[in-house]
Amino acid sequence: MSKLLVSDKVSSEKAYSLIKQTAKLALVTTSLLAVLANFTACSTEKSIDFSNKKGGYNIVIPDGLASIDIKINIERGDTLSEIASRYYNSDYNKIFGNFDNYLKAIASKNNLSSIDSINLGSTLVIPIVFNDTNEYYIRIKSIETQMANLPRYCSYTVKLGDSLVGIAGLSSIDETDRYNIIDEIKRINNLSDNSIYENQKIKIVNPELRALKIELLVAVSELEESLQISAKSK
């Protein structure tokens, strides 16, 4: 049983293609990083699981099923009931009991005062239930396992011209991720600010995680796309 949270959707075919290309490049790049003299042994502390996050409510997912939270943009004429009905099937009864409870769960997740209080142009997060034999889901779980088994930190020798921003970029996939990693590097090295110096020995977040995070983003996007297509074909 598992639950995933999609925080960002790949909004266009062009962006989606770019992410896939970036993932391939990242795989090559991180394999080269491993032989750089600046890196020494990685710690035995395992990586955290990036994607297996809970939403704002708790639901129990029975064996054989899985769930993912996706974002839906509210368009003219949309109602919560109509949106939910695109996805609802008998499997949802095993989790929510009935359609009304599913609506209430969505309202709770989105802090709605009632199931009728959605607004044009706003974004709605809804849980989608699917079979855990879904090929994209299996790929996601495989990537998660790889990430969980990777050492979280590596030792790094600071070179002339290095900065925490640049070092964090080795293992981040966007600006938010980068600055979160900067904060993490400062915390694990007891740094009071962003200052580092040549030949300083510090722990950094394992750069190999970057390629896996990009792979995970692609796999989750493919899963979401497949679920959206399936809903439209109902």
Q: Which of 83, 168, 66, 169 is nearest to 122 (CA)?
A: 83
Q: Whole-angstrom Cα distance, residue 116 to residue 52?
A: 30
Q: Whole-angstrom Cα distance, residue 15 to residue 21?
A: 10
Write the CATH number of the domain with boundaries 153-205. Answer: 3.10.350.10
Check residue 135 and give its pLDDT. 92
pLDDT tens readout for residues 75-104: 888 889 999 999 999 999 998 999 999 999
Of 52 and 116, the one with more pLDDT: 116
Q: Is 69 helix (H, G, I), strand (E, B) or coil?
A: strand
3-7, 162-166, 221-225: segment of lowest average pLDDT: 3-7
Token pair for 64: 């054989």
Domain boundaries of the chain, sorted by first residue: 3-36+51-152+208-232, 153-205
pLDDT tens readout for residues 184-199: 999 999 999 999 999 9
Strand partners, 162: none
Q: Is 156 helix (H, G, I), strand (E, B) or coil?
A: strand
pLDDT tens readout for residues 41-54: 444 444 333 333 33
Residue 70: band (very low, low, confident or very high) from pLDDT cuts 50, 70, 90: confident
Q: What angle do CA 13, 141, 218 make, to 5 degrees?
A: 15
What would the mean pLDDT of 31-35 be, rounded to a whole number?
33
Contact 163, 62 (CB under 8 A): no
